[in-house]
Amino acid sequence: MKADISVALVGNPNTGKSTLFNSLTGLNQKIGNFPGVTVDKKTGFCTLPDGRNAQIIDLPGTYSLYPKSQDESIVFSVLADKSNAHTPDLVVVILDATNLKRNLLLYSQVADLKIPVVIALNMMDLAKKSGIKIDVDLFAKKLGVPVVPISARKTEGIDKLKTAISFANKVALQEGSIDVETIAPELIGQISKEFKLDNPYYALQLAHQHENIKFISPAESERIEELEKEFSFHSQKAQATETIARYNFINDLLYDTVKVPETAQDETISNKIDKILTHKVFGFIIFFAVLLFMFQSIFSWSAYPMELIADFFVWAQSNLHQVLPAGPLTGLVVDGVLGGLSGVMVFIPQIAILFAFISILEDTGYMSRVTFMMDKLMRKVGLNGKSVVPLIGGFACAVPSIMSTRTIENWKDRMITIMVTPLVTCSARLPIYTLLIALVVPNRNVWWLFNLQGLALTGMYVFSLVSAIVCAFVFKLVLKGRERGYFIMELPVYRMPRWNNVAYSMYERAKAFVFQAGKVIIAISVILWVLASYGPGDRFKQIETKYQQAEYTQRLKPDEVTKAINSEKLENSYAGVLGHVIEPVIRPLGFDWKIGIALITSFAAREVFVGTMATIYSVEGSAEKMESVQQKMKTAKNPQTGQPRIFISSGLFAHDVLRLCHAMRQYRCCGLP
């Protein structure tokens, strides 16, 4: 779709920005990446009353144009980069009417960049309820911009906002807020002169942010640095001066236009809820109950749709094999591409459910209370209260969880969280655990009550958490922090979740997962398929001729011959050769080349491990026939030592090696670090 006008949505966190974005664009939106960074770029289209098409860009929520996190650093870049295709013609600043004072800081900064602005005054219904009286007309007149009162939750005022967008001026007409030039007169003057800028605030922002923005060249950045030294410019002092000046301006403005009663009503209700939810004892009990419910749901609710998806692909693959002529192209499409696709699609239910929960927990304001409660505990191991969310998500799937670490401001905390999240046992590892545990742990009860295999599975989960914590602690000592960590965070008022947003979040995340991580997983699947289906030289031909000899065809049934051929082909394929190559390395762990191949193929997806083992030990089917895989693996003796191939310790090691492989894979999937 072609856009006639480009509109950026800017505002504080928790102001209903994404709700507004959803009601403006509907399902007509997509999540991409801002170039060079792993920050979600949400864009969508909206038809204006005059028939024009507006492209809406949802920028990350921020309290000021001076970024504190990776997410926030995007905001200034998008607004200020004049060469960028996405440079907005108009900025819609969304303000929370119940907390205008803090919200207006960001507005006054954006307004001073002299981009045309429209204000969407959100949560007017809540403001009215708590007795806040806003003289909207006077407010608009004093600022010199159109102000549209809306209630994004109730979709009130959205049409008026669309009209305001369509009538917006091409040039910025808003009143200035503070006298920017007094902050650093010489420096602003010199930068404006050398870079031919007509906006003093833009020049000042360049002085503050030149190291982090990509649209100025290194030489230009260095020149600004020189000028800063020349005029002894101190970035933080200047920011402090600016913020104080802006709040003075805001206080004057609000004094004339807004009447706030002594205590807000909502606050007291929130306080009552907080007394229970962050209680010394109940707080933790409730938190663990919520977690338990979440995991139970992720596993049980997704079981049926996952089975359905898996069955569908099995059905499609077997049918396509019958319809299409046998050959390398069919093999590539059906086994390589479709196989990879099914490995991706099967996770959609879990990801959708996980994100539904996360979205509800965030929307209601409970997530920030969890961070508040857990911060001290997490800090002890080098993490941050905000690491709780990705770690919890890691139990379901590490890929989206790693994506959610972007809200952690501190680089070191974020890195450690990214490093340890894949160590937490995710749901896809369950089949592997089941296979390995059934293999090495006898199925009997101890102390009458506990099943030994069940205990082992619980042990694996505990072990995964412990290893994550230990690794976090090690990383804490090893990694050098470049910036200081802090935990200055808003605790938003409790609100009912917006089911619309929950649905959008499920849809968007599943879509983003399929298109972002899915690309990589399918590509690896195809490569692995090729590696496993072709061998060097004419080895494959030799195998086929070998089994055509009467000695085999008479002694074995036809399907047994096929199995034997497949198994021997795999051993002689490129993947098999690779397995043999890495065998010396993994032999001390008690593995042979067969497990080596499975390790390599499980780079694509952990579940592939079971499937590969099944193929290698030449058993039909995969997971269903686990019993027989187990039997074969058990009886396979190490030819040199005569010992069984698998030991308990090597089972554990296998899982750790797997884990490392997957950790690496996931970093790549997310484009991180």
Question: What is the binding site for another protein (CB under 8 A)?
Answer: 63-64, 66, 68, 98-99, 101-102, 105, 236-237, 239-240, 243-244, 247, 260, 264, 267, 270-271, 274-275, 278-280, 283-284, 368, 372-373, 375-377, 385, 484, 486-493
Least Å from the CB of residue 76 to another protein:
14
CA distance 346 to 59: 31
Least Å from the CB of residue 207 to another protein:
15
Q: Which is nearer to another protein, 214 or 275 (CB)?
A: 275
Least Å from the CB of residue 256 to another protein:
18
Q: Which is nearer to another protein, 295 or 487 (CB)?
A: 487
Residue 185, phi then psi, degrees to nearest 5: -55, -50
Least Å from the CB of residue 457 to another protein:
30
Q: From 98, 23, 96, 20, select the one nearest 59 (Cα to Cα).
A: 20
How many angstroms separate the first and last alpha carbons of the chain?
33
Q: Which is nearer to another protein, 81 or 274 (CB)?
A: 274
Least Å from the CB of residue 488 to another protein:
5
Q: Which is nearer to another protein, 214 or 376 (CB)?
A: 376
Q: Which is nearer to another protein, 444 or 484 (CB)?
A: 484
Q: Which is nearer to another protein, 239 or 364 (CB)?
A: 239
Residue type, 147: V
CA distance 533 to 327: 11
3-state SS, one letter per residue, for 367-398 = HHHHHHHHHHHHHHCCCCHHHHHHHHHHCCCH
Q: Which is nearer to another protein, 14 or 190 (CB)?
A: 14
Q: Is the preceding peptide bond at 673 cis, omega within 30 degrees of 0?
A: yes
Least Å from the CB of residue 389 to another protein:
15
Q: Which is nearer to another protein, 68 or 142 (CB)?
A: 68
Least Å from the CB of residue 536 to another protein:
60
Q: Which is nearer to another protein, 409 or 571 (CB)?
A: 409
Q: At what angle do helices 452-478 and 648-669 cross, to 10 degrees?
A: 50
Contact between residue 567 and residue 494 where contact means Cβ atoms under 8 Å apart? no
Least Å from the CB of residue 66 to another protein:
7
Q: 541 burial class (0-12, 13-18, 19+ CB within 10 angstroms)?
A: exposed
Q: Which is nearer to another protein, 281 or 550 (CB)?
A: 281
Contact between residue 55 and residue 5 where contact means Cβ atoms under 8 Å apart? yes
CA distance 397 to 578: 29
Q: Which is nearer to another protein, 126 or 531 (CB)?
A: 126
Q: Which is nearer to another protein, 87 or 130 (CB)?
A: 130
Residue 118, phi then psi, degrees to nearest 5: -125, 135
Least Å from the CB of residue 106 to another protein:
9
Q: Which is nearer to another protein, 376 or 637 (CB)?
A: 376
Least Å from the CB of residue 247 to another protein:
6
Least Å from the CB of residue 619 to another protein:
52
Handedness of CA 213, 216, 219, 223 (dihedral sign): negative
Least Å from the CB of residue 243 to another protein:
4
User: Residue for token digits 């004072």?
Assistant: 101
CA distance 347 to 614: 21
CA distance 547 to 530: 23
Q: From 343, 308, 305, 363, select the one nearest 522 (Cα to Cα).
A: 343
CA distance 353 to 350: 5
Positions of E strands within 123-163:
133-134, 147-149
CA distance 401 to 136: 42
Cα–Cα distances in angstroms (integers) from residue 332 to residues 54, 337, 397, 410, 531, in the given order: 42, 6, 27, 44, 11
Least Å from the CB of residue 378 to another protein:
10
3-state SS, one letter per residue, for 621-672 = CCHHHHHHHHHHHHHCECCCCCCECCCHHHHHHHHHHHHHHHHHHHHHHCCC
Least Å from the CB of residue 236 to another protein:
5
Q: Which two tokens stand for residue 230?
A: 């020349």
Side by side, which strands form the sheet with 90-96? Answer: 29-33, 40-47, 53-58, 5-11, 90-96, 117-122, 147-149
Q: Which is nearer to another protein, 13 or 157 (CB)?
A: 13
User: Residue for token digits 């997410």?
Assistant: 71
Contact between residue 49 and residue 166 where contact means Cβ atoms under 8 Å apart? yes
